Structure 1
Amino acid sequence: MGTLRSVVDRHASVEERQAALRQIYTQVLERQPYAHERRILAKAEQDFLKDKIGVRRFLMELARSEVYLNSFYHRVSNLKFIEWCFKHFLGRAPMDQNEVREYCNILMHKGAEKCIAAILDSEEYRKEFGCFTVPYPREHRYYASPKVFLESGILNHEHFGQRGWIVPTLYWHELGLDCTAGVCRHPEADEILDPPISAESEALQEKLLELLDAFETSTQSASEAFASLSPSQREALRRVIH
């Protein structure tokens, strides 16, 4: 993908740290902070620029801040939040539903901070980025599956909120939904599934995962699987997407 790797070690100059800070914001916030957000992040920024904390510690401070949580957690579904965390901190899309389920359980039972910490403490993160490298969109020589290759490419190149705030890229096409314009629509549905966002309940998160599991093991196409849902299942699915 041609992304410039930024490594900030003990010998980095202030100018190099400032450049790395801009790259961190581009990778994690997908933009530079606004003035009022810089005030929230001021102490962490100064600690980073003065070499009191490294890249990984600054990432944790940024991720637990209201600046990050207001953008990527409070207004979105748990599943979409997890997908964005993978994009921002691991530079790739989730590999499969098992990986999503693992972190969804951490998120629902321990909270957003513990979920992000689990990613930053993971063996994969330590191996790929260590303590000094700013995360970046990764391009692998080999992928676990064509789906992982496709999803990582789509996720790392899409603009913030481009395909909605609810359904992860791993699932939207499996459900037969078209979310390319930032809202989700099923070919058989008349309405656009994009009402105001509200907090997702644990029961609805589990319901969506159950439906996706059923789709994955079914020999039917996504449209056939959608058509075979009972009215109550369709309503549950629409409530999750909402």
Structure 2
Amino acid sequence: MNADRPITLSRSSSPEERQVALKQIYAQVLERQPYNFERKLLAKSEKEFLSGKLGVRHFLHALACSQVYQDNFYFNCSNLKFIELCFKHFLGRAVLDHAEIKVFTDILTKRGYDVVISEILGSEEYRKAFGGFTVPHARTLKFYPSTQNFLQSEIIKHEHVGQHGRIVPTLYWHQLGLDCTGGVCRHPEVDGDYRIVEDSTKANAKPDTVADEIEELLKLLQEDDAKRALHNLSDNQRSLLRNLVGK
């Protein structure tokens, strides 16, 4: 089944067509088919959708406000990641910029979870893109403010649960210099075992730095109270002194 192929129902759609649409909705919104225990939680809304009492948009609202969706994409994610995933699942695109994130972050923190869902599903953009009977799908916008936004939408279109991080939004991990491919966010200064590589300046001190340390060390040792000077030496200075004595 192609998750990008638009499916549109009508009031006269057959039960078989609604079953296909239901699977498509789950693939788009949950990024998988529900587990058996989740289906029990969704049973009432699912029955009403399959019988034609609920259209696509109304079923999406029930699904988005369900415990199933919240457990998967809200409670285990940061607010920013949750908003990004809502855009992916219900509008078929990534967030465009920081301003859009700010608007929905304010809605989430000041007006609550349900309002975020209602604002997205009730938006003019959603109405024009999908109407009341088309299953949301990953879409390519005709115009992008920048190539970066196009890149973000391409990344998030193929992003699955556990990939690219559950905390850091896709919009940010590029800017933070992180590589979140595979579900673990790493900094570029990480080796194959995911251990931070020591800075080369620490491993191989520059001559000027060593000279400064020696100069400071000599100044301390020239003081009248040698014992006090030795007591005030740092661990690095003590190590440097041992090396000098050894030579």
Question: What's the TM-score bracket when you normalise by the shorter of the two chains?
Answer: 0.7 to 0.9
Distance 1:2 1:143, change over 3 A: farther
Pairing 1:90–2:91 present = yes
2:16 — aligned with what?
15
The equivalent residue for 1:230 is none
Q: Is the 8 A contact 2:90 2:120 kept in 1?
A: yes
1:95–1:148 CA contact under 8 A, matched in 2 = yes
Query: In structure 2, what is the equivalent of residue 134 of structure 1?
Result: 135
Tell me the equivalent position of 2:181: 180
Give the match for residue 31 of structure 1.
32
* Matched AA of 1:139: T
Counterpart of 2:63 in structure 1 is: 62
- The residue number in structure 1 matching 2:165 is 164
Alpha-carbon distance change, 101 to 45 in structure 1, aligned in 2, over 3 angstroms = same
Deviation at 1:158, TM superposition (A): 2.0
Scaled by the length of structure 2, the TM-score of the pair is: 0.74
Q: Which residue of 1 aligns with 2:54?
A: 53
Question: Which residue number corresponds to residue 73 of structure 2?
Answer: 72
SS at match of 1:41: helix
The question of whether the paired residues in 2 share the 8 Å contact of 1:184 and 1:192 is answered with no
Structure-1-length-normalised TM-score: 0.76
Gaps of 5+ in 2: 196-247
Q: How far apart are residue 186 of structure 1 and its match?
A: 2.2
CA–CA distance in 2 between the matches of 1:170 and 1:70?
23
Q: What is the deviation of 1:189? A: 7.3
Amino acid at match of 1:48: F
Whether the aligned pair in 2 keeps the contact of 1:63 and 1:116 (CA below 8 Å) is: yes
1:105-116 alignment runs, 5 A limit: 105-116=106-117
Root mean square deviation of aligned Cα: 1.9
Deviation at 1:179, TM superposition (A): 1.1
Equivalent position of 2:104 in the other structure: 103
Contact persistence 1:89–1:119 (CA under 8 A)? yes
**4+ runs of 1 displaced by more than 3 Å?**
187-193
The structural deviation recorded for 1:10 is 0.5
* Structure of greater Rg: 2
